[in-house]
Amino acid sequence: MSKSVGQSKLRVDAYDKVTGRAEYTDDLCAPDALIARIVHSTIAHGMVTGVDTAQAESVPGVVKVLTCFDVPDRPFPTAGHPWSTDPHHQDVADRLLLNRHVRYYGDDVAVVIAENEVAATQAARLVKVTYEEYPFVLDAQEAMGFDGPPIHEERPDNILAHTQIRRGDYETARQEPGLIRVEGWYDTPTVQHCHIENHICYASMEKGRITVVSSTQIPHIIRRVCGQALGIPWGKVRIVKPYIGGGFGNKQDALYEPLCAWLTTQVGGRTVKIDCAREETFVNNRVRHAIRTHIISYVRPDGTLAARKFECFSNQGAYASHGHSIAAKGMGAFPQLYPCDNIEADAYTVYTNRPVAGAMRGYGIPQAMWAGECHLDDIARKLGRDPVEYRRQIVMPQGYTDAFSKNCNYYDTFNQVMDKGMAAIGYEEKRKAYANQTGPIRRGIGMALFWYNTAVWPISLESSSCRMVLNQDGSVQVQTGETEIGQGCDTAYAQMAADAIGIPFEDVHIVSTQDTDVTPFGTGAYASRQTYIGGFSIQQTGQMLKDRILTYAVELTRQTRANLDLVDGQIVRTSDGQVLMSLGELATEALYSLSHSQHLTAESTYQIKNNAYSFGCTFAEVEVDIPLCKVKLLNIVNVHDCGRLINPALAEAQVHGGMSMGIGYGLSEQLLFDPKTGRALNNNLLDYKLSTFMDHPHLQALFVENPEPTSPYGTKALGEPPACSPAPAIRSAILNATGVAVNQTPMTPHVLFRAFREAGLFQEGETAHV
């Protein structure tokens, strides 16, 4: 029986968010909090030789200036991964709260704490830092074996990690006579999450413990990292996560919480706030790894893949953060999406002097799909095949099972999503209509697939915990450690909980705030796991609570346990469907009974040892103004198989957002760096070209609902997947329109100008008037 799941219930937080009542971190912070301003390095690589704080300290209102010479010498990791008790699988601990060895332009060197914002800002400008400068390097491949001091001494060649996949015998297989060789290098940029709420946190002390209120996706992980960074027992730290204004992975990392926690200890436990400026969010939080990928495919004339080689170079930036996990996940897609018997794949994650790369929506897959899908189009073109028709031949077939993850492709999903996408956009007619175009303005249609893994098992722990508490009126509080970050998991959880317990959706009260003192342990919002992972513990805990309720109902109704059910908030005798009492009546009695008082609650953890493939595609139609080097996106359709939809309206909304991010990835977004200094050039919302309202066409989101067999609710990943395939689909459409294959994203006018000029398109354009 399922009543709530599958319905487009209104968001449980919508009322508060449209009235301004939803409180975010800054809304909760006391007005008398001390303000911390961070002094950032003005060189990209070097050693701090001295910090002169005298002038800064003389600014009225300044409470304290702390520097990289003051912080504990205790390196800590920041990645928002579940901790591993196996030292070999622990995240790399490579940074201090403030750093003497500065490794990117903007590294954290000192902090001013002041009574107010103006004093803090003035004083931060007056802190004088002297450096011994080292050569710096911004490119991942150049950083490998760079002739200069290593960015981290433990990694003399700057390579953070290198892993590989070997299948069959690539070298022998590529010797097969008659093979067609297709080779390409595909580049992706450094981009940023651009949640509208900047990262912000504040910390204070009470009873010898530190409380940090933070705009984070991962409160329980932040507690652990703060404990590690400060060298204090983890239980001495309490993290509170209120509503947050978006995260997209940036806040799946310990950002400034450890520093803020330490600062409050330096001012006697007074509240200290670190409120990142937008410019800092761009440079001093996390970015998406820029990855350069090299693919060589040996293809038989019939299109089958004989041998393939893959190399990728992932730009880690200055500190490890999520590190190699991103490149490794991207590489993992390569042998699976288009299976081939002979594969040689290598992924390198390399320290550079760029801002730190961490998690971002898609976690390596947008980069991998950019490279892999562009390359697939290049093969199709070389073979003279249609991109869709060719993919149907070689894409992961139904029944494919990955040996490592044990993930299975249970359905004919790829063909289903392509069929749906083709029909929605009118692929075949347009493909025909756009053949053989001339003139300055041309249209094109293209597509790309994506592969995605829902959660992190078996690479990492997957578990979720849930607590349910029955109120006197029969309503239920539900708490989980997985966090609402805008994606709508609170609403989906309320729907699942309602069905698991057997009560109306309205009777579920989701506790949105996570507070590590009271919230059951959960690792937070990341991967695309919330709905999938949370579902296990919600169903299990809901059934436990229901069982306790019905066990208590036996006493009140004198029926057997087997003859009782909880349906829509009513205790029902199953044999004849008779309603015996309401859950509210039962709950009141249970609490206040003079003979048997019991607070009915349930709490449980479920460890998930499964994972789920999530697939889909993007179809895009563009109009290319060749002389102006501009692409106008006319139509775009994403089709997803994310299993059964828990809430169709919210699922659709989430796909829109991912498509938007994917469009920006394809056409406009890129964080740029000054090659002379390493400084970010466009770390603000004017110069970083996030799509505006006027830069999108109508976004169409469609679904194929093949229930995921391992999930209690038949669901799987949707959060990140929408951002994975738009960019290569747009590239495919531009290729269709112009015959020009662009191998770097974003495909800005600057890039298209060079590409079109090289392809000789301008001569033609100039005689034909627009």
Partner 1 sequence: MSIQYKHIQCTINGRPVDKMVDVRASLTDLLRNDFRLHSVKKGCEVGECGACNVIIDGRCYNSCIYLAVWADGKNIRTLESLLGPNGELSDIQQAFVDEAAVQCGFCTPGFIMTAVEILESGKEYTDDQLRKALSGHLCRCTGYENILRAVKKAMYRRLGKPMPEA
Partner 2 sequence: MYDIKALYEAHSVEEAVRLRVEHPEAQIIAGGSDVLVQIREGKRAGAELISIYLMDELRGISLDEAENIRIGSLTCFTSITNDPIIQKYINVLGEAVDQVGGPQIRNIGTIGGNTCNGVTSADSASTLFAWDAVIELTGPEGVRRIPIQQFYLRAGKVDIRPGEIQTAILIPKASYENCYGHYIKYAMRNAMDIATLGCSVNVRLSPDKRTVERARIAYGVAGPVPLRASTAEAVAQGQAPSLALADRFAKAVLEDIHPRDSWRAAKDFREHIAVETARRAFLESVRLAGGELA
What is the binding site for partner 2 (CB under 8 A)? Answer: 116-118, 121-122, 125, 627-629, 668, 672, 674, 681-682, 685-687, 689, 691-695, 748-750, 753, 757, 762, 766, 769-770
Q: How far is the CB of 424 from partner 2 (least distance, A)?
A: 25
Inter-helix orientation angle 387-394/413-425, to 10°: 170
10 in contact with partner 1 (CB under 8 A): yes
Tokens 């090299």 sit at which residue?
294
For partner 1, the closer of residues 198 and 710 by Cβ is 198
Q: How far is the CB of 455 from partner 2 (least distance, A)?
A: 36
The span of 86-94, 190-198, 308-316, 616-624 binding partner 1 (CB under 8 A) equals: 190-198
* Cα separation values, 735 from 311, 499, 582, 632, 723, Å: 24, 48, 63, 14, 20
Residues 434-473, one symbol each (x = binds partner 1 by CB under 8 A, - = not), give: ----------------------------------------
698 burial via Cβ count (<10 Å: 0-12, 13-18, 19+): exposed
Q: Quick one: what does residue 167 bind among partner 2, partner 1, none, with the CB cut-off 5 to 8 Å set by partner type?
A: none
Q: How far is the CB of 684 from partner 1 (least distance, A)?
A: 7
The span of 82-90, 166-174, 649-657, 672-680 binding partner 1 (CB under 8 A) equals: 649-657
Q: Quick one: what does residue 674 bind among partner 2, partner 1, none, with the CB cut-off 5 to 8 Å set by partner type?
A: partner 2
- What does the alpha-carbon distance between residue 698 and residue 704 come to, in Å, rounded to a whole number? 20
Q: How far is the CB of 739 from partner 1 (least distance, A)?
A: 30
Q: How far is the CB of 260 from partner 1 (least distance, A)?
A: 18
Question: Using CB under 8 A, which of 213, 283, 661, 724 touches partner 1?
Answer: 661
Q: How far is the CB of 177 from partner 1 (least distance, A)?
A: 49
CB 430 within 8 A of CB 635: no
For partner 2, the closer of residues 30 and 562 by Cβ is 30
* Cα separation values, 606 from 493, 502, 518, 713, 714, Å: 15, 20, 18, 15, 17
Token couple for 727: 């960019």
Q: How far is the CB of 34 from partner 1 (least distance, A)?
A: 15
CB 414 within 8 A of CB 400: no
CA atoms 48, 54, 59, 65: torsion sign:
positive
Q: Quick one: what does residue 121 bind among partner 2, partner 1, none, with the CB cut-off 5 to 8 Å set by partner type?
A: partner 2
Residues 39-68, one symbol each (x = binds partner 1 by CB under 8 A, - = not), give: ---------------------x--------
Number of residues that bind partner 1 (CB under 8 A): 60
For partner 2, the closer of residues 567 and 685 by Cβ is 685
- What does the alpha-carbon distance between residue 713 and residue 389 come to, in Å, rounded to a whole number? 33
Q: Quick one: what does residue 770 bind among partner 2, partner 1, none, with the CB cut-off 5 to 8 Å set by partner type?
A: partner 2
- What does the alpha-carbon distance between residue 548 and residue 566 come to, in Å, rounded to a whole number? 11
24 in contact with partner 1 (CB under 8 A): yes
- What does the alpha-carbon distance between residue 621 and residue 469 come to, in Å, rounded to a whole number? 51
573 burial via Cβ count (<10 Å: 0-12, 13-18, 19+): middle
Q: Is the peptide bond before 440 cis (omega within 30 degrees of 0)?
A: no
For partner 1, the closer of residues 553 and 651 by Cβ is 651
Q: How far is the CB of 122 from partner 2 (least distance, A)?
A: 6
* Cα separation values, 650 from 19, 278, 491, 525, 577, Å: 20, 28, 9, 17, 34
363 in contact with partner 1 (CB under 8 A): no
- What does the alpha-carbon distance between residue 93 and residue 224 come to, in Å, rounded to a whole number? 13
For partner 1, the closer of residues 191 and 299 by Cβ is 191
For partner 1, the closer of residues 27 and 428 by Cβ is 27
Query: Which helix (H) or strand (E) is 441 found in, with range?
Result: strand 441-453
Q: Are strands 613-625 and 441-453 parallel, antiparallel or unpaired?
A: antiparallel
Q: Starting from the edge strand earliest in sequence, which strands make up the sheet with 630-641, in order? A: 441-453, 613-625, 630-641, 699-703
Q: Quick one: what does residue 181 bind among partner 2, partner 1, none, with the CB cut-off 5 to 8 Å set by partner type?
A: none
> What are the backbone dihedrals phi and psi of residue 384, each rounded to the nearest 5 degrees, phi first?
70, 30
502 in contact with partner 1 (CB under 8 A): no
- What does the alpha-carbon distance between residue 570 and residue 591 come to, in Å, rounded to a whole number? 17
362 in contact with partner 1 (CB under 8 A): no
Token couple for 403: 């040996």
- What does the alpha-carbon distance between residue 385 and residue 391 come to, in Å, rounded to a whole number? 9
Q: How far is the CB of 103 from partner 2 (least distance, A)?
A: 22
685 in contact with partner 1 (CB under 8 A): yes
CA atoms 561, 562, 564, 569: torsion sign:
positive
CB 553 within 8 A of CB 567: no
Q: How far is the CB of 680 from partner 2 (least distance, A)?
A: 10
Q: How far is the CB of 753 from partner 2 (least distance, A)?
A: 5
Query: Which helix (H) or strand (E) is 510 found in, with range?
Result: strand 508-510
Q: Quick one: what does residue 511 bind among partner 1, partner 2, none, with the CB cut-off 5 to 8 Å set by partner type?
A: none
**Residue partners of 196: CB distance under 8 A and separation at least 6:** 245, 246
Q: Quick one: what does residue 196 bind among partner 2, partner 1, none, with the CB cut-off 5 to 8 Å set by partner type?
A: partner 1
For partner 2, the closer of residues 85 and 438 by Cβ is 438
For partner 2, the closer of residues 387 and 765 by Cβ is 765
For partner 1, the closer of residues 658 and 712 by Cβ is 658
List residues near partner 1 by CB under 8 A. Answer: 8, 10-11, 13-20, 22-24, 26-27, 31, 60, 118, 193-198, 243-246, 248, 275, 277-278, 485-488, 649-650, 652-654, 656-661, 663, 684-686, 690-694, 696, 698-699
